[in-house]
Amino acid sequence: MSGSTELKTYIVCSFILYLKFVIATGIQATKTFDAGCRPPEDKNLALAQGRREQNYGMFSDENDAELLKARAIEHRWKRIIQNDLESIPLALLVFLGGVFAGGNKELFVICLAVYTSVRCFHTYAYANMLQPHRAWCWRIGVLMIITSGVNSIVGVFN
């Protein structure tokens, strides 16, 4: 494949982040079914079979400990997805600028590879209630975005 090292790194890391997101949304979907929080019309879908009634989670026994646990897990996975949506799209825009800006290519590759790694571990840490690991993943990810952005700006003006 022809293309710069930055472009190749961007393509690989973007795809890894996309796969991570698809896997996480798949897990989140099963957790939503477990909690009975899907729309009623989803009762005939394969994932609904053998699970509780689907009613957006609006009608249930609030004293059901199993249900409350399922809802807590479902909420955790919704937050994982929301956090990805808050970080990954804008990060990829900043990194895309780095593909074309002419900054330090080694720094770009390191920043994007580290960002991709910590976003994957962030999901693992969030799902497994690992704190402060989750917070450190977030901080390091933000640092990589900012570092790459500054690297790109330096490249633009050189």
What is the structure's pLDDT at 74? 96
Q: Alpha-carbon distance 79 to 61, whole Å?
A: 24
Q: According to the model, what pLDDT value does residue 11 have?
A: 98
Range of the domain at 107: 5-157
Tens digits of residue pLDDT in 67-103:
999 999 999 999 999 999 999 999 999 999 999 999 9
Q: What is the pLDDT of residue 1?
A: 62
The enclosing domain of 55 has a CATH number of 1.20.120.550
What is the pTM assigned to this prediction? 0.92
- Provide the domain count of the chain: 1
Is residue 63's pLDDT more than 90?
A: no
**CA dihedral angle for residue 56, residue 59, residue 64, residue 67, rounded to 10 degrees:** -10
* 3-state class percentages of the chain: helix first, strand second, coil last, to nearest 5: 80, 0, 20
pLDDT digits (tens, 9 = 90+) for 112-149: 999 999 999 999 999 999 999 999 999 999 999 999 99
pLDDT of res. 43:
86
Enter the DSSP assignment of 61: -
